[in-house]
Structure 1
């Protein structure tokens, strides 16, 4: 999205480059609908962290293999993100967002009803399309809803849905899977997507496309050094995170020797801490993006390595999982802010690159994590997390100052 693009259709969507002193109820409703969508989609994305063991048992596969449902979501999402803003062309952005929510409903239902692992993978792949399409458009749509100078405030609310999902999905998923089965937990995410779709229909204004992106425009952005380093930061930190976080439940079961109830409590602590991290990350990113990136890497590297060293003690394990949650809560704010610094004139194209980076990182992390957990035990993925998170610290020091 260019500067000219951001000013088109202003009367239709209420866009103003100045920061409004207060948002109208209509604007609040629209932004909240975006937050509800992020909550529904990310809840479905993170659900396997709390369902991995019963899901693997039911489908007759190893925990490492079951963890590849995350890889399926992410790998399909990476390809979709690269092409999404090209394929949607001149379609009304509201229509696209509602359609993506409908796809999420169908995909979650297919996963819940899957009779074998391949049908489950197909359902998760559909979820990957919905996720990547939504996030690729999110920054540009929020900018149109609230004004370019209030985009950070709007995105903080939208990404709050991510943090809340980290509370609801893994912990509640673990409990619901014990009470009603993992399929019931998966089906509930379809209900969340249906609520989000209804809110979108009721609240989002018409969002006519003011430009049609070309694939060459997306690739042209990758020539900018700030964008390159921003993408690399996402790849390092998120690959490390998902290599370890997907397999936290097996670690807590096999190393810390916790039961389902304490594990759900630990994952709840992770989620609550991520909400706090989301707020802290936004404030720190506004003050100094380089420090914010370094702090995020330090906290994640320390918590993962310390779990490997001292995670057999339940009290320490609870504290470190919570610290990890705080670091992860910072990431959805810090990493996109870091990337977008060099692409303020092309937000939709930058959104595609951002999602591609996230999804490739999730794919590699889950794939490698699944391999090492099957071959080297539950502690190995967390060691990999620590190494890559520490690499992000070095990258933060190399980022150009602006």
Structure 2
């Protein structure tokens, strides 16, 4: 396949000034292969949520201990995100992506045959490396495939795999576990990764490295004001989201007084809205990234605040939970695109900082959200979401235009 990619790592460009270009069939195929990869990786990441009980029983451990397989994936991923684009040096980026899919296959197979908790933990650590390294490269690779002016649209398609996986993986994992056992569910994720690797081999053009990153280059990038603001936006909005979204179900139980069936419908609405928001976020990010960031943060802040104020009413709770899902769907597209616009000459290094920012935000959100809900009750985490969303809105409005 002819490599018609745009080289972005060598010189900065005015990304808003480039005219839109229609995508070829090859470009669509390549971007969809990355979407398949994100679906496979995130499905494997979220799968344990539906498998904890049978997994713990089979391995002879508590459910709390089994839950640490998720912690292992995230904690290893945070470190990997900082180092991955340094360690790959000048390897062809197609080779790296295919290798990461291979690592995911091996990790999922190892989890499938794990005979004790420590082998399972090792397998999940390998998955964490694959996930974080993939996302650290994602913006740079997508920009080379589709052009800088269509990065938001390209990332929307790639992250669509995330939205679909977060809806499907826990429930499908639980069903497959009941039918065939938790090991079979793990094996299926290895199959998904194999399909993604095959699609990458068939569709991705050669992507020779245009730069070799060092850790100093990554840290040097943090001196740029636009990068600092982009990282801060991720930290604030995602800390707010993960501090509150984990406790949406307790809120619906204790404030809205819903039973399990209606709660499941509300969460399904959240997931479907996230898919729609993902698509909308891509188009808005390419048109006006500052407006996209402002809209994303404003919608999340308003939805969380409305739930705090009027969430005891069932209709209000359903409506604003759905609006929150829409805003969350926009965020994984808008936030990385916003950060990348300050580093068009160093997209790989910016990708590392982006993933680290997300991982730190998830960690802080989980810790702070737990403290707030224990101290202030079910509405406390949602009030924090609203406050941090409003702060991100202020940051978006004050952020200097490039």
TM-score range (shorter-chain normalised) is 0.7 to 0.9
Two-structure CA RMSD over aligned residues (Å) = 3.4
Deviation at 1:50, TM superposition (A): 5.9
Whole-Å Cα distance in 2 between the matches of residues 182 and 377 of structure 1?
A: 35
Deviation at 1:275, TM superposition (A): 1.7
Match of 2:4 among 5, 14, 39: 14
Residues 13-46 of structure 1: CA distance to partner in whole angstroms, max 9, x if unpaired? 2225786854333322211101111122223334
**Structure 1: which 5+ residue stretches go unaligned?**
1-10
Residues 114-173 of structure 1: CA distance to partner in whole angstroms, max 9, x if unpaired? 677665554433222111111111122223323444434332322222233333234545
| Aligned residue runs from structure 1 range 3-402, under 5 A | 13-16=3-6, 21-47=21-47, 59-62=61-64, 69-111=69-111, 121-173=121-173, 185-249=185-249, 251-252=251-252, 256-259=257-260, 262-311=262-311, 314-370=314-370, 379-402=379-402
Whole-Å Cα distance in 2 between the matches of residues 290 and 226 of structure 1?
A: 12
TM-score, structure 2 as length reference: 0.83
Whole-Å Cα distance in 1 between the matches of residues 209 and 34 of structure 2?
A: 18
Q: Which moved more, 1:47-56 or 1:379-388?
A: 47-56
TM-score, structure 1 as length reference: 0.83
Q: Report the count of equivalent residues.
A: 389
Aligned residue for 2:244, secondary structure, equals helix
Deviation at 1:221, TM superposition (A): 0.9
Deviation at 1:373, TM superposition (A): 5.4
Whole-Å Cα distance in 2 between the matches of residues 78 and 213 of structure 1?
A: 18
Instruction: Note if contact 1:27-1:146 (Cα within 8 Å) is conserved in structure 2.
Output: yes
Instruction: Note if contact 1:49-1:246 (Cα within 8 Å) is conserved in structure 2.
Output: no
Whole-Å Cα distance in 1 between the matches of residues 399 and 286 of structure 2?
A: 16
Deviation at 1:197, TM superposition (A): 1.4
Whole-Å Cα distance in 1 between the matches of residues 325 and 303 of structure 2?
A: 9
Judged with a 3 Å threshold, the aligned counterparts in structure 2 of structure 1 residues 262 and 146 are, in CA distance, closer, same or farther, namely: same
Whole-Å Cα distance in 1 between the matches of residues 51 and 380 of structure 2?
A: 20
**Structure 2: which 5+ residue stretches go unaligned?**
8-17
Whole-Å Cα distance in 2 between the matches of residues 399 and 308 of structure 1?
A: 28
